[in-house]
Amino acid sequence: MPKLKIDGLEIEVERGTKVIEAAARLGIIIPRFCFHPGLGPVGACRVCAVKFEEGPVKGVQMSCMTDAQDGMVVSTTDEEAADFRKHVIEWLMMNHPHDCPVCDEGGHCLLQDLTVAGGHGIRRYLGKKRTYNDQYLGVFVQHEMNRCIQCWRCRRFYQEFAGYRDLGALQIAHHTYFGRATDGQLESPFSGNIIDICPTGVYTDKPSRFTGRRWDFERGPSLCIHCSLGCHIITSARYREMTRLEARFSESVNGYFICDRGRYGFYYTNHPERPRRARIRTEEVSLDQAIQTAAQKIIQINQKNGPKAIACLGSARSCVENQAMLIRFCRVQGWNEPTYFETPTMAKKVKRAVARLDEQLAVSMREIEKADFILAVGADPVNEAPMLALAMRQAFRNEATIVVIDPRPVFLPFEFEHLPVAPDDLEPCLTALIKGAVHRSAAEKMGEEALRFYDTAPAEYPDAPIKNRMVKITQKLRQSRYPVIICGTSIVRETTPDVAADSALLLRAARGRAGLFYLMSEANTFGAALLSSEEGSVMDVVESIEKGSVKGLMLVESDPFRSFPDYERLKQAVDKLDLFLVMDYLPSFAARLAHLFFPTQTLFEMETSFVNQEGRVQFATSAYRGGIPISQISAGGHPLRVFRRDIPGGESQPAWQILAKLANIISLPGREMFSLSKNELWSWIAKEYPIFANVPIADELPDDVRVHLAQGREKLFPSGGQIRSGGLSRENSTLELVMGDWTFGTEELSTYSKYLQQVEKEPCLFMSPKDASMLGLKDRERITLPLDKGRLEMELRIVDTMAPGVIVMPKHRQLAWQKIEKWPVKVAMGQIRK
């Protein structure tokens, strides 16, 4: 490892480390504009010049472009280097508008810092300043080109790192311009990152514009909960209002960046209609009063109908604490355990995925970047979990082969092989690829079960065009040194998570190394699957209500009206209830129907934790104390000068604390009393679920704690002999309905964001050209789709990147798709009409 000396301090670094990074490890921060650790060096701004006094490189050179080498003696304070850096800053400031007082970057601006640090104070340039026209870049990003210092970071992120082309460099020389060919909403779902990485105020956060200086905000580390990946974020809050999110660096999860759904999805927490008071029917009451009333009702039902007459639904967007307390609550009361999943199929899929993910196979997003072959099954990353697409793109940039087996019209910002097959064909298509690349002897070495799996799995995919493409893909897979399987859990069959895990085991046996990455539907789906011991689903609860065995229903941060496939049936069931109790922070449909409502705190108001799809237990600190945003009660005037002890609208409490209080009232004498201490709750979790025993709940925010179910307990290769090549004998007269996601417009919390609502696409139904021509339908025609409980009207989109024999309908906030009796949905072809 090279050893070098910087400003008299010696340091040893790994080969390939740049001098600028080596210096940073010594605490010497060499100025930089173009260099960004996530994007790498490029040598454009020239402000990181240092003097190389001894060693293989001599003279003033860029520290970002020079690898640390043995024997280097580097001076960052050398007169010539410092003078050059000062000149670079002077040149950059020639045309800068000096509009810091009205610039949102002011106060955390790299250009401001380095201008002061570099000692450039007196303007020597006598000429006129160059000016530019700014562009409208959409609802997220404010453009102010005059501030630009042409560091190229935005263009490098947008085009090279993220793979989108609509923002880039135009013009040359001192007219170099960063923007779009014409005004318009940025197309990339990662566009907000250019705000974070811009070293000055060219791109600023539009929704939070002019809301405060960096030091005005309460800022803290938190987590993104708008998909299952759990990216790390920094919150900013002011005047009892969440104002802005930025990416927080995470070594294992998201690196330096986040997606726009994560960045602009948080507005549910400030939502003007957010319920902030407890209610009995429509009457607002104090939280204590509501708890007392609820306790009485619960005791009545329990006495009359027994402990099993009240069912509880939790949700996968709720934190570990809420999920755990709800389970503990039910166990102490002798109730049935709470349910976290809409349908039994979903429960089973998620539980299987969680059971099969072990320490050796599980890979993080950052490890995906290092894979040389990625095989995604039933996953649509840009729409389901955008940051995964960004990680896959980094693998692509490192020359990985990427294959997606999915019936939906999957788009990714890079070249990949898409095998659009029907949902029933996902498994045979996957195993055909694996068998093509893994020799039978590898399975043989793994034992009888593996061999049975190998021998009984379909070896060939019968559809000729796809089969031909698979030949080339298997060749690549045979050469892979690090293949990773990504498996979705939304559209796949119940057995697919097992087949994916078994495939990964075979690949590991054959290639020496392999990874497995499950995608789940929500931020804490993994936690819910770990904690809940039953495989019950909302479907079972609805049936019990219909049968009359369940009289009361308690929802904890759950809105089944959004996700349950049959709205009418659910509504009728809820109408039958004697007690309908809802705890939430969203102005959800369920909240409106509640007999008793309790306002809970959002992630930003409490200390909390989530388990991402990789089994990573992650912690978030509270951003602020909650309450109604001052802007909402002062009508834009000067902040009110009203003095009171409480926080207006600050009655919300963590759902788990409300549950604890409720439990302590209804519990019979002699039963366990619940504490309101988070540590006490965590010691209960650790006791009941030993895999959580090693999770530290200290103040620090660990990035590397994963919980996986014990090794060797699970039966491997359970799907041996079960993989059908069934879908291949497809009925021609029906189309299977496959549900999809939109990046914006599907995920529950972010659909409450007024900014994301502006960038949603219109709801539509996707169909393959083959099926469309059989039906005589044209692209962009309005059509009606018959479902079990009525028809749905929407626009038809004909795309050739999807499987024939299926129709794809992304769930959309504006689409009342909940008219389905049971999965899978087959639609008779003739029934789809204009």
Partner 1 sequence: MYPQVIFQNRKPNRIATIDEYRQSGGYQALTMALQKYSPKEVQQAVVDANLQGRGGAGFPAGLKWKSVADDAPFPRYLITNIDEMEPGTFKDRIMAHADPHMIIEGTILAGYVVSAEKGIIFVRPSYESSALILEREIRIAQEAGYLGQNIMGSNFSFDLIVHRSGGRYICGEGTAQINAIMGMRAHPKQPPPRSTEKGLWDQPTVLNNIETLVNVPHIVRHGAEWFKGLAKTKASSGTKLYCVSGKVNRPGCYELPMGTPLREIIEEHAGGLLPGSEFKACLPGGASTCFLGKEDYDVEMDFEGLKKCRNRLGTGAVIVFDQKTCLVGATLNLIDFFVRESCGFCTPCREGLPFIRDLLWRIEHGEGEEEFIPILHRMCAHMWKSYCAFAPGASMPVTSLLDHFPEEVHEHISQKKCPFKS
> Which residues of this protein are in contact with partner 1, per CB under 8 A?
43-47, 49, 60, 65, 83-84, 87-88, 91-92, 94-95, 124-127, 149-150, 152, 169, 171-176
Q: State the Rg of the chain over Cα.
A: 28
Alpha helices (runs of H) in 5-51, residue ranges in sequence order:
19-25
Cβ distance to partner 1 smaller for residue 153 or 708: 153
Nearer to partner 1, 124 or 644 (CB): 124
Q: How far, CA to CA in Å, does 55 sit from each of 454, 690, 757, 810?
A: 58, 55, 57, 60
Helix or strand holding residue 510 (H, E): helix 496-511
DSSP letter at 674 equals P
d(CA 617, CA 619): 7
Q: Contact 407/423 with Cβ under 8 angstroms? A: yes
**Nearest one of 42, 41, 40, 60 to 50, comparing CA atoms:** 60
65 vs 73 by CB, closer to partner 1: 65
Helix, strand and coil content of the chain, in percent to the nearest 5, comes to: 35, 20, 45
Min separation Cβ 395 and partner 1, Å: 17
Nearer to partner 1, 64 or 291 (CB): 64
79 vs 699, beta carbon nearer partner 1: 79
d(CA 695, CA 590): 34
Amino acid occupying residue 632: Q
Angle of helix 79-93 relative to helix 110-118, nearest 10 degrees, comes to: 130
Write down the least CB distance from residue 798 to partner 1, Å. 30
Q: What is the nearest approach in angstroms of partner 1 to the Cβ of residue 64?
A: 12
Report how far residue 363's alpha carbon sits from residue 351's, in angstroms, rounded to the nearest whole number. 18
> Which CB atom, from 62 or from 433, has the smaller least distance to partner 1?
62
Nearer to partner 1, 96 or 569 (CB): 96
> For residue 56, what are the contacts with CB-CB under 8 A and spacing of at least 6?
69, 71, 72
Residue 30 Cβ, how far from partner 1 at the closest point, in Å? 15
Which phi and psi angles does 810 have, rounded to 5°?
Answer: -65, 135
Q: Please name which of 387, 388, 380 lies closest in space to residue 411, comparing C-alpha atoms.
A: 380
Q: Which is nearer to partner 1, 113 or 688 (CB)?
A: 113
CA atoms within a 13 Å half-sphere pointing along the CA-CB vector of 99: 14
Instruction: For partner 1, give the closer residue by CB, 84 or 136.
Output: 84
> Shortest gap between Cβ of 172 and partner 1 (angstroms)?
5
Minimum distance between the CB of residue 95 and partner 1, rounded to whole angstroms? 7
Least distance to partner 1, CB of residue 639, Å: 43
Q: Which of 741, 795, 6, 818 is closest to 389 using CA atoms? A: 741
Q: How far is the CB of 166 from partner 1 (least distance, A)?
A: 16
Q: Phi and psi dihedrals of 317, rounded to 5?
A: -95, -5
Assess contact for 291 and 404: CB atoms under 8 A.
no
Least distance to partner 1, CB of residue 173, Å: 4
Query: CB of 150: closest distance to partner 1 in angstroms?
Result: 6
CB of 46 to partner 1, least distance (A): 5
User: Is the Cβ of residue 44 or residue 280 nearer to partner 1 in the bound state?
Assistant: 44
Q: Residue 306's CB: how many other CB atoms inside 10 A?
A: 13
Pairing of strands 764-767, 608-611: unpaired
Distance CA 655, CA 584 (A): 8
Q: Dihedral of CA 780/783/785/790: which sign?
A: positive
Give whichever of 9 and 65 is closer to partner 1, judged by the CB atom.
Answer: 65
**Residue 245: CB minimum distance to partner 1, A:** 32
Provide the minimum distance between the beta carbon of 122 and partner 1 in the complex, in angstroms, as a whole number: 12
The number of residues in the chain equals: 834
Indicate the residue among 88 and 233 with the shorter CB distance to partner 1: 88
Whole-number Å distance between alpha carbons of 67 and 674:
58
Q: Which is nearer to partner 1, 125 or 475 (CB)?
A: 125
